[in-house]
Amino acid sequence: MEKIKVGVLGASGYTGADLMRLALRHPAIELTVLTANSHAGKPVKDVFKHFSHVTLPDLIAIDEADWKNVDAVFCGLPHGTTQAITKQIFQTHPNVKIIDMSADFRLRDPVAYKEWYGLDHVATEIQPEAVYGLTELYRDEIVNARLIACPGCYPTAVLLSLVPLAREGLVDATDLVIDAKSGVSGAGRGLKENTLFCEAGEGLAPYAVGKHRHMAEIEQEIGRAAGLDGLRVNFTPHLIPMSRGELTTSYVRMKNGASAADLKEVLASTYAEDPFVTLLEGEALPQTQMVRGSNYVAMNVIPDRIAGRAIVISTLDNLVKGSAGQALQNFNLAYGLDETLGLEQLPLFP
């Protein structure tokens, strides 16, 4: 299989690492450029010891990258840094496709970007061509996109399970309570006290209550699905003492006489052909153990004890389907490859 030359920007973070893990075994990818400014000059295995077994290009600074040697770029940079580099790459190498795992192009409205991220959007002219990379719901756009803004990990879990319901008018989008739980890798590899083993271990903590930035994507996309402007949802994340995995428990009020079975039926028909979405049978409950290390999403709808309400549960691995895996899935689509290529790994349990 002919190789596509791939660059990974931000290769020293967890999403960058998981992208490399998958890309190294992808039959159509050759990793040619790996950047990590703070580790420039080092072998990757000095930064990620689990790559001691393989050969990779050394890490370089982003301004040392030779873009001629790159057909596609995966960005795993912090938000606020991707817009400028994307604009710059497109100016000199307009045929490169960029699959961005940061938040920089997810919000369609630059004003919202400024509001949530506190930064001016510096590439507003290319924002319109950014496709929101929630694969299963935007597949057609992704196929032809040059700039793919992969969703956040939480939004992926939430939107895959709620957008079809909102679109069909089966749930009241103005009364959504989304209780979210994530493993610690979702907080990234940066040094923070609350992600130390001794602080995050053997304990459970809500965080960013009412303020988490992923809320902006969720409101944007559910609002679009429900045809509502300025939608507000409850979204309350919790930090869980595990490395990987994310689970969202969404409490919905049904509309138009819908039942939990109706909700499930909509999800079933939406994802009937999707290789990575598993709608569980009966009242089987999603749990992160079902998806660890894989690109699968598992979901289900459970009737609530309160009449007229239902519970929609969704789980994924935040670094795979929630980030690097979905990015690779989008890459496959954008390059005309089988969507599952390089993503066939089954979950690791235990």
Q: Residue 287 and residue 50: Cα distance in Å, rounded?
A: 26
| Sequence-distant (≥ 6) Cβ neighbours of residue 91 within 8 angstroms | none
Residues 164-193 that bind a second copy (CB under 8 A): 174-175, 177, 179, 181, 183-185, 189, 191-193
Count of CB atoms situated within 10 Å of the CB of 125: 10
Active site residue 153: yes
When the beta carbons of 22 and 65 are compared against a second copy, the nearer one is: 22
Least distance (Å) between residue 45 CB and a second copy: 8
Residues 203-232 that bind a second copy (CB under 8 A): 203-207, 209-210, 215, 232
Instruction: Rule CB under 8 A: say whether 273 interacts with a second copy.
Output: no
Q: Which residue's structure tokens are 């699905």? A: 225
When the beta carbons of 240 and 334 are compared against a second copy, the nearer one is: 240
Q: Which of 57, 80, 110, 241 binds a second copy (CB under 8 A)?
A: 241
Least distance (Å) between residue 264 CB and a second copy: 14
Query: Measured between alpha carbons, how far is residue 140 from residues 97, 136, 250 in Å?
Result: 16, 9, 27
Instruction: Rule CB under 8 A: say whether 78 interacts with a second copy.
Output: no
Locate 296 and state its tokens.
């699968």
When the beta carbons of 123 and 240 are compared against a second copy, the nearer one is: 240
Least distance (Å) between residue 14 CB and a second copy: 6
Query: Measured between alpha carbons, how far is residue 104 from residues 8, 42, 115 in Å?
Result: 16, 27, 13
Q: How many residues bind a second copy (CB under 8 A)?
A: 89
Q: Which of 37, 88, 243, 259 binds a second copy (CB under 8 A)?
A: 243
Which among 140, 171, 176, 141 is positioned nearest to 155, based on CA atoms?
Answer: 176
The interface region with a second copy, picked from 48-56, 71-79, 100-108, 109-117 by CB under 8 A, is 48-56
Q: Residue 24 and residue 39: Cα distance in Å, rounded?
A: 20
Instruction: Give Dmax over CA atoms of the chain in angstroms.
Output: 62
Q: Which residue's structure tokens are 């998958």? A: 22
Query: Which amino acid makes up residue 121?
Result: H
Residues 250-269 that bind a second copy (CB under 8 A): 251
Instruction: Rule CB under 8 A: say whether 50 interacts with a second copy.
Output: yes
Instruction: Rule CB under 8 A: say whether 284 interacts with a second copy.
Output: yes
Say which of 75, 150, 153, 198 is annotated catalytic: 153
313: three-class secondary structure by DSSP: strand
SS (H, E, C) 34-70: EECHHHCCCCHHHHCHHHCCCCCCCCECHHHCCHHHC
When the beta carbons of 251 and 335 are compared against a second copy, the nearer one is: 251
Q: Which of 35, 82, 135, 288 binds a second copy (CB under 8 A)?
A: 288
Active site residues: 153
